[in-house]
Amino acid sequence: MADATSIKDLPSLTGLHQRRNPLEENPFFHPSHGFYITPSDVVLSQVVYDLSDASQPHVAYHRAGPRREILYEPSSVKAAIVTCGGLCPGMNTVIRELVVGLWELYGVREIYGIPAGYRGFYSMEAVELNPKLVHNWHKKGGTVLATSRGGFDLCKIVDAIQQNGYNQVYIIGGDGTMRGAVKIFDEVSRRKLEVGITGIPKTVDNDVGIIDRSFGFQTAVEMAQEAISAAHVEAESAVNGIGLVKLMGRSTGHIALHATLSSRDVDCCLIPEMGFYLEGKGGLFEFLEQRLKDHGHAVLVVAEGAGQEMIPRTESQKQERDESGNLVFLDVGVWLKSALKEWWEREHPKELFTVKYIDPTYMIRAVPANATDNLYCTLLAHSSIHGVMAGYTGFVSGPINGNYAYIPLEEVAQTKNEVNTSDPKWAWVRSVTNQPDFETNFKG
Amino acid sequence: MADATSIKDLPSLTGLHQRRNPLEENPFFHPSHGFYITPSDVVLSQVVYDLSDASQPHVAYHRAGPRREILYEPSSVKAAIVTCGGLCPGMNTVIRELVVGLWELYGVREIYGIPAGYRGFYSMEAVELNPKLVHNWHKKGGTVLATSRGGFDLCKIVDAIQQNGYNQVYIIGGDGTMRGAVKIFDEVSRRKLEVGITGIPKTVDNDVGIIDRSFGFQTAVEMAQEAISAAHVEAESAVNGIGLVKLMGRSTGHIALHATLSSRDVDCCLIPEMGFYLEGKGGLFEFLEQRLKDHGHAVLVVAEGAGQEMIPRTESQKQERDESGNLVFLDVGVWLKSALKEWWEREHPKELFTVKYIDPTYMIRAVPANATDNLYCTLLAHSSIHGVMAGYTGFVSGPINGNYAYIPLEEVAQTKNEVNTSDPKWAWVRSVTNQPDFETNFKG
Amino acid sequence: MADATSIKDLPSLTGLHQRRNPLEENPFFHPSHGFYITPSDVVLSQVVYDLSDASQPHVAYHRAGPRREILYEPSSVKAAIVTCGGLCPGMNTVIRELVVGLWELYGVREIYGIPAGYRGFYSMEAVELNPKLVHNWHKKGGTVLATSRGGFDLCKIVDAIQQNGYNQVYIIGGDGTMRGAVKIFDEVSRRKLEVGITGIPKTVDNDVGIIDRSFGFQTAVEMAQEAISAAHVEAESAVNGIGLVKLMGRSTGHIALHATLSSRDVDCCLIPEMGFYLEGKGGLFEFLEQRLKDHGHAVLVVAEGAGQEMIPRTESQKQERDESGNLVFLDVGVWLKSALKEWWEREHPKELFTVKYIDPTYMIRAVPANATDNLYCTLLAHSSIHGVMAGYTGFVSGPINGNYAYIPLEEVAQTKNEVNTSDPKWAWVRSVTNQPDFETNFKG
Amino acid sequence: MADATSIKDLPSLTGLHQRRNPLEENPFFHPSHGFYITPSDVVLSQVVYDLSDASQPHVAYHRAGPRREILYEPSSVKAAIVTCGGLCPGMNTVIRELVVGLWELYGVREIYGIPAGYRGFYSMEAVELNPKLVHNWHKKGGTVLATSRGGFDLCKIVDAIQQNGYNQVYIIGGDGTMRGAVKIFDEVSRRKLEVGITGIPKTVDNDVGIIDRSFGFQTAVEMAQEAISAAHVEAESAVNGIGLVKLMGRSTGHIALHATLSSRDVDCCLIPEMGFYLEGKGGLFEFLEQRLKDHGHAVLVVAEGAGQEMIPRTESQKQERDESGNLVFLDVGVWLKSALKEWWEREHPKELFTVKYIDPTYMIRAVPANATDNLYCTLLAHSSIHGVMAGYTGFVSGPINGNYAYIPLEEVAQTKNEVNTSDPKWAWVRSVTNQPDFETNFKG
């Protein structure tokens, strides 16, 4: 096994001395045989094989968990926690567990919350955190630390880290935030600071690669059911009623896809990974017309990133670009609603027709994490702590095939998790919804 | 008591013979003393008096409930039920209970559902209903019969009633629908048809007068809490965050008002009954600026009918009128969101600011009724049945000061229930939210 | 009107001077005409009349609300709030609103929470309360002040009131607590202390008289639906399945009755106000046998106080008495479950049979108040404050026919609200469930 | 890779001819490259390795999914579906998806539901199922087919299968049911019947081995939060309050463990896999006394199978054995509640103390599946169908390391999934709850 497997290496701090894990002296834990994780404990990145193909290599990641030897003297730790970007269920649970875990497992006593995202490092006062303060945070949506987009000023941030003496930095945020974390890690290394940097990917869209799924995602799928049910009721209670739900997912359709598979009320699910077209044979209108004819109503779920290239742009929208230089997103739900109305008005001017459009975005992302995600956030935070205490840096924790592992931060920042439309799961969606395979239709 | 009290008379069918209530022969009910309601049983319309004012008259309505003598031979009843207008929690419960009550209490066996609103009378086939079919309907949102707006063609509808031999018609709908019901009642009377017509007011906005409240309203207030909570989380998690929630209420602010009083997360509640202004001393912007300064965030609830006269209209919007000839409604939430952004950009161009706007309308009105409303819908349906069986027509059932009564349909169709901003309850809202009294501000 | 109406007088403090309501000087409120309530504003206690009966007198209560003149100098107020007895949804909302109302409307700054019920007055340290501290309490179930039963030591309590200088005491509790409050009021009067005493009836059972309903009741009925639904699923999924749910209600069956009317899954509802019997013609077993034969399953709701006299008592249970000298309550659900099993085993030993028994008591009473109850608790707390500030004492606030009024405390403590089984509402339950009229059956 | 890996073989039908998958001719699916699964596609059973240990073998299972060649002519399929044992969220979703999948993917038209468990094969009439009938079943708790325990009569069952001509049998049930399914498979093989037998493990306790988790489990953990929250509120609102929640789990503590990790309100979690003791140093009472001293309240979660050997048994209970010959289970919650009361009464007779005991079992298991479980049930049902259509028999579908695979039925029936108390996850529970390590304490 061993020689055929390549293991993803992790950066580690170098200037600190090894010492015994304080759990070792904790009369309470009695770490049993097998409790500590060693560097030879790995998680395979791939579990599905085609045995007829001999050429497949093994890749493995270091398993997450407590190490017998750590690199920090707990009383010298000064940890900073920051949350960046949009809201996602579970952020407060992650913060809470970082605080409780550092405090109770390792005896760390200096833990600071950076308010309002990256800019908080250099423009606001940090908040001292302790278990009593964060006691009920996991029952609240949003982030008590507050968050914001942008504000990434590398130099000012690393200056602030240095000046405040933070030697552990926990960064919770999306892909842009993770790319920022890589830069912070690089700059911290360049300055030869003994600061452990770890990223905790936060993306309700579930668009981060390598890990099984991101926290808050299951809660989002659960909450999306309410919107789909409401759209279904509206559609069913009308004559030729269409219920249209826009769900989160700028570049990936995971929420839309999972919400569709979890519900049974959806007739068609449109995602960014799959092209579609409205008019003509095999198009969406033809499909909906058939559904209305058969059932009298239809429910449509669309991920916010779907069909962007089809939405007509005004001149100013053609110029407007976001911080990353991409064209700004247009509202696919509003566009689709009006396209549907125009189509029907044109084709069936005398027949009743209703489109009810629901955009539940802020009602989904602002709720507290459900039980599944709360548990996930807890294990995630504890994994991160164990890794940082052991001296790893520039890494991310996360579940791989159900087991928590450590992954180089840079790798996570570069990988995207898209829906694989040639996967059986996608075929299943189509079989569940009987929805058209627009791409094949078009080619055909 | 008796002589000082004026009683609201009810129309009654005239061509039928009195007979004993079949409950009388039902071995099961054993109607006890006081079970039957007599014409001298009344409900006072007013319970709050200023005793220093001697001039106040008593007005009373006939109490709802079973009568010892009824006018229909159950086996000759052919009842029609129709739902019109938008969705409202509890519609299916009302339908279900009409069916179950007619069937089980009175032994009626011919009960028909008219699909898709008024137009269903003359353009679609009615659905035969029975207790088994409707068994679980009260657990579903919307209306299984389907509904639509418009389609009111008086002549065709009364022709259809006549041709199909319906002699009881239960009409569930909003104020427009009730005005239609008055016309149907008049036309049916003109044609001397022995058809009992009853209206069941359905308005999630609670804007119908005389009765204590309309069905579905409590459920809507309950559901609105989710949206307000989400807006609160979004606002709290941002720097200078505003959460903006638009709630139903075209001409009245009851949902907004009650949702605000039930929540404690709302800083300001804007309703159609109260003017407000944005700029200048005592205006909304000044108020919000102070709140952001004090708390870092604010939550705003706005009823859809508030501020309509302030929203700039395009030339075409100045022409566009709805079926009743009124100017079309513009989206106060979208307008307010952009007005807020412009204001901040102008006043504080360098400071962070976020407005998160939530429009939960379809997620509120499409849910099943909660327990409170389910019970209400049940008693409402049974009241209606007893009244119709007893020969009343052109009436509405509803709770007055907590007791079910019969009210002339015409009176209900003409009365509007607006929030009385000089009422202590309104003062309470202002005390709860500490929100500005824009009108006094302006005058002052 | 005036001369025919007798008004319920309220005790009032006598040794204090009248002064203007501080709302008067509040630049914010601008109390409009009609904002203040005067002593001649009353609420009629009865709204349903039989006009053929001339002898019915009018009784009225003083309307609750702010008075133009108050008796306390706000800066001299020292208020105490105590919660006694079992949990009920909304307790924290009442506490919160008492604190916020006293603080923000009247400028009171000394507000204390007495911990753990009556005994807290003399055995624990009071907690200083302010709006910031109680900010989120209305979102929590239970009572943050903690509660307990018993501990009523009149002398010690009044001593403590006197020694701590409390001049306003808000007592939240059940019927026993209210009887204690009467004694405190009497003793305070005897000692000639200028202390305003007000009771806020807390009974999830809704067994308090005069007022329309008690706070938390609607939430309890709502939550009971979950248990009934689960019992229904268990019953339906079995062969000859019985789902049995015990709901709160020691001497009254309001929760059971309303939960039954709100649901449609209940076949029979047993309450303390109605006798029933198991065996023989017209008994429960015969009824259930028929239901199982017809539908294959049945759901039974039983209030905890129903059938107490039928449950066999051991010798020790015959002696055991509660604090009030009554026989202790036995668990009717456990007894009924085993009686059902024995009956079936005896009658149909070879046929499958299942009873699933659910006791959701603590899951119902520990939840936060729903929107309806939150609003109620807010208006209730504010009514109480206005009354106490105006100098009323020995009174209770509460809604009468939908309007808040002040009621002598002693009257509330003596009145019981039982289900009136000759009321049409009870007939409606029987019609909804088609359940037997055990009493008539038995006589018959 | 290939040669080091041992693959778990699956039984297969032998007497049928291979034919093309009808999906192949479905104009809709356009099976893309990689859509079909081949026998060489496998899922590794182990993903966590210690690379320092060279001796670890690879074991793999055949991957689940559609095969290009199938063994049944769809028009000749006659499928039977049966549900056995207790309720579990998701049963109806599995049934629904089996029906919809067989009908829509493969064109099967004869699908029968066996009512009321195994006994239904020979004593009741099967119900014909189709997509329209099962349309909304996934929104209902329980099983519409009904279920029962026992009734396993091998000969009668296989006779019935033979006589009715069922050639596919889908058996949904717990471990006893799976052992029965093995016997049916053996007997069917002995009789040389060409009948595909597949088991779908249903255990809300999650005690089935090999697969990642069982359906309904996540829903149960989610629902358990409500009971824990209520117990927490009750405990916090009392003086020395204990909230005690019994959760499902006869031989394994997964629900208790996950519910504890998902909540943050639990002080101690007792499971069958871990011994504990009440009295003395390091015992439960000592721990609780400390918690009450520190926090004033405590919450205890106990799995129903925990501490069975500690509960005193009456003589008759020492004799009573269940169908498998084991001692009957006693109610650990009731016992613990009374043990706690006795302890306190003995140790602190004058101090207040309250234990509120909640048993939410039937309210947890009777709910519909949440989104996560609905999706799982869908993929599970479709996996089963593809396997049976491909000719596999005597197998079970289920997720292994996140990927659906086929597992020999016998292996599943013999394996138990217990909580591994030497696993880091268990250490995490202890760190989260700071609960005692009773076993080490005792030894120490």
- Interface pTM (ipTM) of the complex? 0.93
Q: Specify the pLDDT at position A80.
A: 98
A294, A311, A353, C206, D387 from A289: Cα distances, Å: 9, 21, 11, 54, 35
The burial of C131, by beta-carbon neighbours within 10 Å (0-12 exposed, 13-18 middle, 19 or more buried), is given as middle
Contacts of A30 in chain D (CB under 8 A): 437, 440
Global confidence as pTM:
0.95
Report the mean per-residue pLDDT for chain C.
91
Which residues in A260-280 are b (16+ Cβ under 10 Å) and which e? bbbbbbbbbbbbbbbebbbee
Kindly report the CA angle at D252 between D246 and D256, in degrees rounded to 5? 40
Say whether pLDDT at A169 is over 50.
yes
A308, B219, B307, C222, D378 from A325: Cα distances, Å: 16, 45, 38, 51, 41
Residue pLDDT, tens place only, C46-83: 888 888 876 667 899 999 999 999 999 999 999 999 99
Contacts of C33 in chain B (CB under 8 A): 422
B127, B421, D13, D421 from B424: Cα distances, Å: 48, 8, 79, 61
Contacts of D230 in chain C (CB under 8 A): 141, 362-363, 366-367
Inform me whether the C-beta atom of residue A56 falls under 8 Å from chain B C-beta atoms: no
User: For residue D353, what are its two tokens?
Assistant: 């103390």
B228, B294, B296, B399, C443 from B285: Cα distances, Å: 20, 14, 14, 41, 72
Total length of chain D? 444
Q: Which residue of C has its CA nearest to B374?
A: C262
Inform me whether the C-beta atom of residue D140 falls under 8 Å from chain C C-beta atoms: yes
Q: Specify the pLDDT at position B143.
A: 96
CB contact under 8 A, D237 and C147: yes
Q: What is the mean pLDDT of residues A25-32?
A: 64
B38, C338, D418, D421, D432 from D426: Cα distances, Å: 70, 39, 12, 5, 10
Say whether pLDDT at B407 is over 90.
yes
What span, in angstroms and rounded, lies between the C-alpha atoms of B9 and C126?
Answer: 59
Q: Specify the pLDDT at position D35.
A: 78
DSSP code of residue C327 = B
A residues 209..228 contacting D (CB < 8 A): 212, 218, 221-222, 224-225
Say whether pLDDT at A1 is over 70.
no
Residues β-bridged to residue D404: D399
| DSSP per-residue letters across A278-339 | SSSTTSHHHHHHHHHHHHSEEEEEEETTTTGGGS---HHHHH-B-TTSPBPPP-HHHHHHHH
Flag whether B249 is marked binding: yes
Residue pLDDT, tens place only, D104-133: 889 999 999 999 999 999 999 999 999 999
Q: What is the mean pLDDT of residues B227-255?
A: 96
φ/ψ bin of B328: left (φ > 0), alpha (ψ from -120 to 50), beta (otherwise): beta
Inform me whether the C-beta atom of residue B428 falls under 8 Å from chain A C-beta atoms: no
What span, in angstroms and rounded, lies between the C-alpha atoms of D341 and D351?
Answer: 12
Q: What is the mean pLDDT of residues B151-179?
A: 96
Backbone angles phi, psi at C127, to 5 degrees: -105, 130
What span, in angstroms and rounded, lies between the C-alpha atoms of B76 and B110?
Answer: 8
Which residues in B257-288 are b (16+ Cβ under 10 Å) and which e? bbbbbbbbbbbbbbbbbbebbbeeebbbbebb
Q: Kindly report the nearest CA distance between residue B144 and chain A, in angstroms.
A: 6
Inform me whether the C-beta atom of residue D233 falls under 8 Å from chain A C-beta atoms: no
**Catalytic residue from among B9, B53, B159, B205:** B205
CB atoms within 10 A of CB D139: 18
Q: Specify the pLDDT at position B322.
A: 72
Cα atoms in the Cβ-side hemisphere of radius 13 Å centred on A27: 3
CB contact under 8 A, A434 and D28: yes
Q: Using 70 as the pLDDT threshold, list the residues of chain D that sit under it.
A: 1-4, 27-34, 54-56, 323-324, 424-425, 439-444
Q: Strand, coil or helix: what is D332?
A: helix
Nearest residue to B206 (alpha-carbon basis) of B247, B266, B165, B234: B247
A47, A255, A427, C325, C430 from A419: Cα distances, Å: 18, 10, 11, 70, 56
Cα atoms in the Cβ-side hemisphere of radius 13 Å centred on A37: 24
Q: Specify the pLDDT at position C1.
A: 45
Residues β-bridged to residue C397: C406
Q: Which residue has the higher pLDDT, A275 or C4?
A: A275
| DSSP per-residue letters across B357-406 | EE--HHHHHTSPP-HHHHHHHHHHHHHHHHHHHTTB-SEEEEEETTEEEE
CB contact under 8 A, C237 and D146: yes
Q: Specify the pLDDT at position A317.
A: 85
A229, D95, D370 from D138: Cα distances, Å: 13, 9, 10
B residues 111..130 contacting A (CB < 8 A): 115-116
What span, in angstroms and rounded, lies between the C-alpha atoms of D347 and B25?
Answer: 65
What span, in angstroms and rounded, lies between the C-alpha atoms of B323 and B321?
Answer: 7
- In chain C, how many H helices and how many E strands? 14, 17
Say whether pLDDT at B27 is over 80.
no
Inform me whether the C-beta atom of residue C142 falls under 8 Å from chain D C-beta atoms: yes
Which sign does the torsion angle of CA C59, C65, C67, C68 carry? negative
- What structural domains does chain B harbor? 5-214+369-414 (3.40.50.450), 218-367 (3.40.50.460)
- In chain B, how many H helices and how many E strands? 14, 17
Residues β-bridged to residue A358: A245
Residue D131 · residue D181 · CB < 8 Å: no
What span, in angstroms and rounded, lies between the C-alpha atoms of B266 and B395?
Answer: 39
Q: Which residue bears the tokens 């289920």? A: D398
Backbone angles phi, psi at D365, to 5 degrees: -80, -10
Which sign does the torsion angle of CA A32, A33, A38, A40 carry? negative
Residue B157 · residue B377 · CB < 8 Å: no
Backbone angles phi, psi at D386, to 5 degrees: -60, -40
- Which stretch of A52-61, A178-187, D21-30, D112-121 has the lowest confidence by average pLDDT? D21-30
Inform me whether the C-beta atom of residue B400 falls under 8 Å from chain C C-beta atoms: yes
Q: Strand, coil or helix: what is D197?
A: strand
Q: Where does the pLDDT of residue B28 fall: very low under 50, low under 70, confident under 90, or very high at 90 and above? A: low
Residue C401 · residue C64 · CB < 8 Å: no
User: For residue C179, what are its two tokens?
Assistant: 């009887």
Cα atoms in the Cβ-side hemisphere of radius 13 Å centred on B251: 14
Q: What is the mean pLDDT of residues B172-190?
A: 96
The burial of D281, by beta-carbon neighbours within 10 Å (0-12 exposed, 13-18 middle, 19 or more buried), is given as exposed
User: For residue C78, what are its two tokens?
Assistant: 């020292």
Q: Strand, coil or helix: what is B41?
A: strand
CB contact under 8 A, A1 and D49: yes
What span, in angstroms and rounded, lies between the C-alpha atoms of A271 and A275?
Answer: 8
Inform me whether the C-beta atom of residue A405 falls under 8 Å from chain D C-beta atoms: no
Backbone angles phi, psi at A122, to 5 degrees: -115, -5
Residue pLDDT, tens place only, C290-343: 999 999 999 999 999 999 999 999 888 888 877 667 778 899 999 999 999 999
Q: Specify the pLDDT at position A329.
A: 87
The burial of C16, by beta-carbon neighbours within 10 Å (0-12 exposed, 13-18 middle, 19 or more buried), is given as middle
- Nearest CB to B431 within list C38, C104, C262: C104
Give, for D303, the enclosing helix (H) or strand (E). strand D297-303
Q: Where does the pLDDT of residue B308 fall: very low under 50, low under 70, confident under 90, or very high at 90 and above? A: very high
Report the mean per-residue pLDDT for chain B.
91
Q: Specify the pLDDT at position B269.
A: 94
DSSP code of residue D86 = S
User: For residue C218, what are its two tokens?
Assistant: 């609607």
What span, in angstroms and rounded, lies between the C-alpha atoms of B79 and B109?
Answer: 9
Backbone angles phi, psi at C395, to 5 degrees: -135, 170
Residue pLDDT, tens place only, C218-240: 999 999 999 999 999 999 999 99
Give, for B241, the enclosing helix (H) or strand (E). strand B241-247
Nearest residue to A84 (alpha-carbon basis) of A142, A127, A148, A145: A148
Residues 6+ apart with CB under 8 A from B85: B117, B147, B149, B173, B174, B176, B177, B202
Residue pLDDT, tens place only, C373-405: 999 999 999 999 999 999 999 999 999 999 999
Q: Specify the pLDDT at position A264.
A: 85
User: For residue D31, what are its two tokens?
Assistant: 């099976």
Q: Strand, coil or helix: what is B154?
A: helix
- Which stretch of B94-108, B314-328, C192-206 has the lowest confidence by average pLDDT? B314-328
What span, in angstroms and rounded, lies between the C-alpha atoms of C185 and C195?
Answer: 8
